[in-house]
């Protein structure tokens, strides 16, 4: 089941490898914000708001998902940073698997 998604990630990673060399810090920063900081902030706000466990779990699952692939399309069409968008998509997709597993185990 995971062969095709992993193959696509490998292909995407190889395609963007040459383009993100100088953009490595922003790519890592964007991916870490998306996969680590947003779930932590979501947990804090959910706890402060007194969300029910089911609501908190649902919110954290959504916050732990990778960067949307539409961000690359938007960056390309609107003249944004395509390398940053594609790099953060690939890296956040790789990082989201362990983060989602952790969220599901803890909440």
Q: Is the dihedral of CA 30, 17, 69, 5 positive or negative?
A: negative
Average pLDDT over residues 1-18: 64
Q: Which two tokens stand for residue 91?
A: 């890296």
pTM score, whole prediction: 0.77
Residue pair 91/12 in contact by the 8 Å Cβ criterion: no
Choice among 7-16, 50-59, 83-92 with the minimum mean pLDDT: 7-16
Instruction: Give pLDDT tens digits for 23-38.
Output: 789 989 999 999 999 9
Task: Report residue 51: phi and psi, to 5°.
Answer: -65, 145
- Distance from CA of residue 97 to its chain's centroid? 9
Q: Write down the pLDDT at residue 101.
A: 94
The percentage of the chain sitting over the pLDDT mark of 90, rounded to a whole number, equals: 50
Residue 14 has pLDDT above 60, yes or no: no
| DSSP code at position 68 | P
């Amino acid at each position: 089941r995971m062969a095709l998604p992993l193959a696509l990630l490998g292909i995407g990673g190889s395609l963007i490898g040459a383009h993100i060399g100088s953009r490595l810090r922003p790519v890592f920063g964007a991916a870490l914000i998306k996969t680590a900081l947003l779930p932590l902030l979501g947990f804090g706000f959910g706890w402060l708001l007194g969300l029910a466990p089911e609501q908190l779990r649902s919110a954290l699952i959504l916050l732990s998902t990778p960067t949307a692939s539409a961000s690359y399309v938007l960056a390309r069409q609107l003249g944004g940073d395509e390398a940053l968008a594609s790099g953060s998509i690939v890296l956040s997709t790789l990082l989201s698997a362990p983060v989602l597993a952790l969220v599901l185990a803890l909440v």
